[in-house]
């Protein structure tokens, strides 16, 4: 990784990066990714900048599920029906999306992109902790940022096929999985008794009966994908930045949120996922429950009692709607109250889709991921 990272930085960043030798090249791991491997790359202090090249960058190396090719008939390199969540097409689209978000000051700058990953702006910050999500100020700003994200018009296909198209693809892959390790096989066989196909059928029927606007979603707004910017901690607003957009797409406004990712699957092969807003918000509420910094196996801790209460959900929804008011126009008090109740139902129904989505994702990750994490422990809880 070090040799390849050095080559990428020389090729894409140029300037002083081309003047240093491999022994002077600084690289260290950055925690926080379950889909990707993250590294901080730095110039040595004694080397002066030649131009405006960055002195430190974030290297993101895509995880296995984002680099896996599509099987025949599922879009991408092996097919063209646009349902495969993997492959070259989705990575190209994610890079386009990342660059657009950077231009709109909604995400880090993009310095380089290649088949195995990309080079991003390194932003002095810390990722939020799970307990931070319950802070009213932070929760309110996340809601505003998400609403702003949902209001963007992006140059992508706007048909909301991503969620169930991706889950159908996951189920197909799961049906072909085998595990050689006895303990993994035991857990996997238990998961198969859940009749996942029937569960998805019931879920689809429920969500088809649940109105939710189709918007551009992040699909993975969890604490690890939200930065608290250094020097902005005391700011009343604009102290947070959403990152990690590999699961972003048009969705029911309530499907994947920032999709992309704790990291989930990549965007639909032919277009990024378009989703209902309900998934994005419901998925975020689910993340209040999970702490991914737990230091012992299975390297996460689930606390269902931390799922946001009705009042906490309303606090989030009201901030979300306050940012959305310009797109909706004026509403009476009665109309506002009715909208809030409708959104409560919408979001919590789509939270079920979030659990099912990440449950399937976890099963696949257990087979292909090199990251040490209890994926098959996580899946049944979802």
Q: What is the pLDDT of residues 23-76, one digit of tens each?
A: 999 999 997 666 788 999 999 999 999 999 999 999 999 876 555 544 333 333
DSSP for 225-255? GEEEETT-TT-SSS-EEE---TT-EEEETTS
How far, in Å, are 64, 204, 348 from residue 280 at the CA level?
24, 16, 11
What are the residue ranges in the chain where pLDDT is below 50? Answer: 69-86, 252-272
- With contact defined as beta carbons under 8 Å apart, do 251 and 277 qualify? yes
Q: What angle do CA 148, 153, 155 make, to 5 degrees?
A: 140
Distance of alpha carbon 280 from alpha carbon 259, whole angstroms: 8
The predicted-structure confidence for 296-319, as pLDDT tens digits, reads as follows: 999 999 999 999 999 999 999 999
Distance of alpha carbon 216 from alpha carbon 283, whole angstroms: 14
* Res 157: pLDDT: 74
Distance of alpha carbon 283 from alpha carbon 288, whole angstroms: 9
* Res 256: pLDDT: 29
* Res 255: pLDDT: 30
Question: If DSSP codes are grouped into helix, strand and coil, which group holds residue 113?
Answer: strand
Q: What angle do CA 327, 332, 337 make, to 5 degrees?
A: 90
Distance of alpha carbon 215 from alpha carbon 149, whole angstroms: 9
Of all helices (H) and strands (E), which one includes residue 203?
helix 196-208
Q: What pTM was computed for the model?
A: 0.82
Token pair listed for 208: 């088809």
Query: Can you say how many angstroms the Cα of residue 229 is from the centroid of all Cα atoms in its chain?
Result: 19
* Res 193: pLDDT: 95
Closest CA to 56 of 109, 130, 132: 109
* Count of CB atoms situated within 10 Å of the CB of 46: 7
| Residues in CB range of 18: below 8 A, 6 or more apart | 10
Distance of alpha carbon 349 from alpha carbon 354, whole angstroms: 9
- With contact defined as beta carbons under 8 Å apart, do 347 and 284 qualify? no
Stated length of the chain: 382
* Res 237: pLDDT: 76
Token pair listed for 328: 């909706």
Hey, what domains does the chain have and what are their CATH numbers? 1-61 (3.30.200.20), 64-107+124-381 (3.90.1200.10)
Burial (CB < 10 A; 0-12, 13-18, 19+), residue 21, is: exposed
* Res 93: pLDDT: 78
Measured N-to-C along each axis, helices 277-287 and 136-150 cross at an angle, to the nearest 10 degrees, of 150
């Amino acid at each position: 990784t070090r040799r390849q990272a050095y080559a990428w930085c020389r090729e894409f960043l140029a300037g002083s990066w081309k003047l240093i030798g491999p022994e002077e090249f600084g690289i260290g791991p950055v925690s926080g990714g379950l889909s990707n491997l993250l590294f901080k790359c730095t110039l040595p202090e004694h080397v002066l900048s030649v131009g405006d090249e960055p002195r430190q960058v974030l290297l993101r190396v895509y995880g296995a599920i984002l680099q896996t090719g599509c099987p025949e008939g599922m879009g991408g390199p092996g097919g063209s029906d646009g349902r495969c969540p993997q492959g070259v097409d989705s990575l190209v689209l994610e890079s386009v999306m990342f660059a657009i978000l950077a231009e709109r000051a909604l995400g880090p700058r993009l310095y380089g992109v290649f088949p195995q990953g990309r080079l991003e702006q390194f932003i002095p910050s810390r990722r939020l902790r799970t307990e931070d999500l319950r802070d009213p100020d932070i929760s309110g700003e996340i809601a505003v940022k998400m609403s702003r994200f949902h209001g963007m018009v992006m140059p992508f296909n706007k048909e909301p096929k991503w969620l169930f198209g991706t889950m159908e693809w996951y189920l197909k892959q799961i049906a072909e999985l085998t595990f050689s390790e006895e303990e993994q096989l035991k857990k996997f066989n238990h998961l198969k008794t859940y009749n996942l196909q029937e569960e998805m059928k019931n879920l689809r029927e429920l969500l088809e009966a649940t109105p939710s606007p189709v918007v551009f979603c992040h699909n993975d707004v969890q604490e690890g994908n939200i930065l608290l910017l250094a020097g902005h901690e005391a700011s009343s607003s604009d102290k947070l930045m959403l990152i990690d957009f590999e699961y972003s797409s048009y969705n029911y406004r309530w499907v994947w949120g920032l999709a992309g990712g704790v990291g989930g699957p990549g965007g639909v092969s032919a277009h990024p996922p378009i989703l209902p807003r309900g998934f994005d918000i419901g998925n975020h509420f689910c993340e209040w429950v999970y702490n991914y910094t737990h230091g012992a196996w299975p390297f996460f801790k689930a606390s269902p009692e931390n799922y946001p209460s009705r009042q906490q959900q309303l606090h989030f929804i009201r901030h979300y709607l306050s940012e959305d008011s310009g797109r909706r126009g004026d509403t009476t008090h009665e109309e506002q109250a009715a909208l809030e109740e409708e959104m409560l139902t919408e979001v919590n129904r789509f939270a079920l889709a979030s659990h099912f989505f990440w449950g399937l994702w976890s099963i696949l990750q257990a087979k292909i991921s090199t990251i040490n994490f209890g994926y098959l422990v996580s899946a049944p809880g979802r």
